[in-house]
Structure 1
Amino acid sequence: MSFNEQFDQHGTWRREFALRLKSLAQWMKEHDLLNAAVEERLQRLESQVRADKVMVAFVAEFSRGKSELINAIFFAGYGRRIMPASAGRTTMCPTELGYDAAIVPCLRLLPIETRLQPQALMEWRLVPDKWLQIDLDVNDPAQLAQALQKVAEVQHVSLDGARALGFWNDNSPEDNPLAGSDGLIEVPKWRHALINIAHPLLKQGLVILDTPGLNAIGAEPELTVSLIPQAHAVVFILAADTGVTKSDLSIWREHLASGGEGSDTRLVVLNKIDTLWDALSTPEEVQAQIDRQRATSAEILGLPLSQVIPVSAQKGLVAKVTGDPGLLQASQLPALERVLGRGVMGQRQKILRTAVAAGIGELKNEAGRALNMRRRDQAEQMLELRGLKGKNISVIKHMRNRIEQEQAEFDSSGAKIHAVRSVHGALLGDLVNLLSVPTLKVELVELTTALKQPGIKLRLKKTYGQTFSRLREGLQKGQVLTGEIESMLESAFRQINAEFGFSLQVPQAPDMARWVQDLDLIERSHLQYLGLGNVIRLAQADFSERLVRALSNRLRVVFESALGEVELWNKSASAQLDAQLRERRRNFARRLEAVERIQQAASSLDERITEIDDQEIRLKGLEAKLAELTARLLDLRPLPFASQEPVVNPAAALAESA
Structure 2
Amino acid sequence: MSFNQDFNDHGAWRKQFALRLKLLGEWLRDQDLLEAGVRERLDQLQSQVKNDKMMVAFVAEFSRGKSELINAVFFAGYGRRIMPASAGRTTMCPTELGYDAEVPPCLRLLPIESRLQPQTLMDWRNAPDKWERVNLDVNDPQQLAKAIQKVAEVRRVTTTEAAKLGFWSEESPEDNPAKGSDGLVEVPKWRHALINMAHPLLKQGLVILDTPGLNAIGAEPELTVSLLPQAQAVVFILAADTGVTKSDLSIWREHLVPTKDAVDSRLAVLNKIDTMWDALSTPEQVQLQIASQRTDSAEILGLDPRQVIAVSAQKGLLAKVSRDEKLLHASNLPALETALGEGLLGRRRQILAHSVSQGVMALRQEIDRLVHTRSRDIVEQIQELEGLRGKNAGVIKQMRLRIEQEQADFDASGAKIQAVRSVHLRLLKDLFTLLDNTHLKKRVSELAHALKQPGIKLGVRRAYTHTFKRLGADLTQAEKLAVDIQSMLEGSFKGLNAEYGFSLQPPSPPQIASYQKDLVLIERSHVQYLGMGNVLRLAQPEFAERLARALMSRLRVVYDTAINEVELWNKSAASQLDAQLRERRRNFSRRIEAVSRIQQAAGGLDERIRELQSQQAHLALTEAKLGELTDQLSEPVPEEVSTELASA
Alignment correspondent of 1:265: 265
In structure 1, the residue corresponding to 2:32 is in which secondary structure?
coil
Identity of aligned residues (%): 67
1:192 positional shift: 1.3
In structure 1, the residue corresponding to 2:614 is in which secondary structure?
helix
1:263-306: CA deviation from partner (whole Å, max 9, x where unpaired): 21111111111111111111111111111111111111111111
Asked if 1:363 corresponds to 2:375, the answer is no
Q: Which moved more, 1:211-220 or 1:412-421?
A: 412-421
1:460 positional shift: 1.5
- Aligned equivalents of 2:638 and 2:345: distance in 1? 9
Asked if 1:444 corresponds to 2:440, the answer is no
Contact 1:17/1:636 (8 A) holds in 2: no
1:582 positional shift: 0.9
Contact 2:72/2:317 (8 A) holds in 1: yes
Matches within 5 A, 1:305-316: 305-316=305-316
Counterpart residue type for residue 259 of structure 1: T
1:639 positional shift: 8.3
In structure 2, the residue corresponding to 1:87 is in which secondary structure?
coil
Asked if 1:297 corresponds to 2:297, the answer is yes
1:208-236: CA deviation from partner (whole Å, max 9, x where unpaired): 11000001001101111221111121111
Q: Which moved more, 1:540-549 or 1:346-355?
A: 346-355
Alignment correspondent of 1:542: 542
In structure 2, the residue corresponding to 1:212 is in which secondary structure?
coil
Alignment correspondent of 1:147: 147
Counterpart residue type for residue 452 of structure 2: K
Matches within 5 A, 1:156-555: 156-555=156-555
1:134 positional shift: 2.0
1:624 positional shift: 0.6
Alignment correspondent of 1:624: 624
1:34 positional shift: 3.4
1:348 positional shift: 3.0
1:171 positional shift: 4.1
Asked if 1:88 corresponds to 2:72, the answer is no
- Aligned equivalents of 1:299 and 1:32: distance in 2? 61
1:495-538: CA deviation from partner (whole Å, max 9, x where unpaired): 11111111111111011122111111111111134334323211
1:358-387: CA deviation from partner (whole Å, max 9, x where unpaired): 122122222222222222222221122111
Query: Structure 1's 256 and 622: CA in aligned 2 closer, same or farther, altered over 3 A?
Result: same
- Aligned equivalents of 1:573 and 1:55: distance in 2? 35
Alpha-carbon RMSD across the aligned residues, in angstroms, is: 1.7
Q: Which moved more, 1:290-299 or 1:532-541?
A: 532-541
Alignment correspondent of 1:559: 559
- Aligned equivalents of 1:170 and 1:303: distance in 2? 36
Counterpart residue type for residue 29 of structure 2: K
Alignment correspondent of 1:577: 577
- Aligned equivalents of 2:332 and 2:614: distance in 1? 65
Query: Structure 1's 102 and 387: CA in aligned 2 closer, same or farther, altered over 3 A?
Result: closer
Alignment correspondent of 1:43: 43
- Aligned equivalents of 2:517 and 2:36: distance in 1? 30
Contact 2:59/2:234 (8 A) holds in 1: yes
Contact 1:360/1:630 (8 A) holds in 2: yes
Q: Which moved more, 1:354-363 or 1:77-86?
A: 354-363
Q: Which moved more, 1:423-432 or 1:116-125?
A: 116-125
1:246 positional shift: 0.7
- Aligned equivalents of 2:349 and 2:38: distance in 1? 22
- Aligned equivalents of 2:308 and 2:531: distance in 1? 29
Q: Which moved more, 1:474-483 or 1:371-380?
A: 371-380
Alignment correspondent of 1:643: none
Alignment correspondent of 2:130: 130
Asked if 1:66 corresponds to 2:69, the answer is no
In structure 2, the residue corresponding to 1:133 is in which secondary structure?
strand
Query: Structure 1's 139 and 500: CA in aligned 2 closer, same or farther, altered over 3 A?
Result: same
1:127 positional shift: 2.7
Contact 1:54/1:344 (8 A) holds in 2: no
Alignment correspondent of 2:645: none
- Aligned equivalents of 2:97 and 2:74: distance in 1? 11
- Aligned equivalents of 1:360 and 1:503: distance in 2? 20
1:637 positional shift: 5.2
In structure 1, the residue corresponding to 2:244 is in which secondary structure?
coil
In structure 2, the residue corresponding to 1:508 is in which secondary structure?
coil
Contact 1:11/1:204 (8 A) holds in 2: yes
Matches within 5 A, 1:575-654: 575-636=575-636
1:85 positional shift: 0.7
Q: Which moved more, 1:503-512 or 1:48-57?
A: 48-57
Alignment correspondent of 1:645: none
- Aligned equivalents of 1:456 and 1:322: distance in 2? 55
1:169 positional shift: 3.7
Runs of 4+ in 1 over 4 A off after TM superposition: 637-640
| Equivalenced residues, count | 640
Contact 1:35/1:575 (8 A) holds in 2: yes
Query: Structure 1's 534 and 639: CA in aligned 2 closer, same or farther, altered over 3 A?
Result: farther
Counterpart residue type for residue 553 of structure 1: S
- Aligned equivalents of 1:495 and 1:130: distance in 2? 57
1:111 positional shift: 1.9
Alignment correspondent of 2:643: none
1:91-120: CA deviation from partner (whole Å, max 9, x where unpaired): 111111122233332222222222223222
Counterpart residue type for residue 102 of structure 1: E
Counterpart residue type for residue 407 of structure 2: Q
- Aligned equivalents of 1:360 and 1:135: distance in 2? 40
- Aligned equivalents of 1:638 and 1:266: distance in 2? 31
TM-score (norm 2): 0.96
Contact 1:172/1:533 (8 A) holds in 2: no
In structure 2, the residue corresponding to 1:505 is in which secondary structure?
coil
Contact 2:294/2:308 (8 A) holds in 1: yes
Query: Structure 1's 521 and 589: CA in aligned 2 closer, same or farther, altered over 3 A?
Result: same
Contact 2:38/2:367 (8 A) holds in 1: no
- Aligned equivalents of 2:111 and 2:421: distance in 1? 53
Matches within 5 A, 1:87-126: 87-126=87-126
- Aligned equivalents of 1:37 and 1:182: distance in 2? 67
In structure 1, the residue corresponding to 2:139 is in which secondary structure?
coil
Contact 2:109/2:193 (8 A) holds in 1: yes
Counterpart residue type for residue 113 of structure 2: E
In structure 1, the residue corresponding to 2:47 is in which secondary structure?
helix
Contact 1:95/1:210 (8 A) holds in 2: yes
Contact 1:170/1:536 (8 A) holds in 2: no
- Aligned equivalents of 1:366 and 1:126: distance in 2? 36
Counterpart residue type for residue 484 of structure 1: D
1:549 positional shift: 1.3
Contact 1:319/1:328 (8 A) holds in 2: yes
Counterpart residue type for residue 426 of structure 1: R
1:325-349: CA deviation from partner (whole Å, max 9, x where unpaired): 0000110111111110123432332
1:623 positional shift: 0.7
In structure 2, the residue corresponding to 1:237 is in which secondary structure?
strand
Alignment correspondent of 2:6: 6
Contact 1:118/1:542 (8 A) holds in 2: no
Counterpart residue type for residue 22 of structure 1: K
Counterpart residue type for residue 459 of structure 1: G
Consecutive unaligned residues of structure 2, counting only runs of 5 or more, are: 641-648
- Aligned equivalents of 1:398 and 1:543: distance in 2? 82
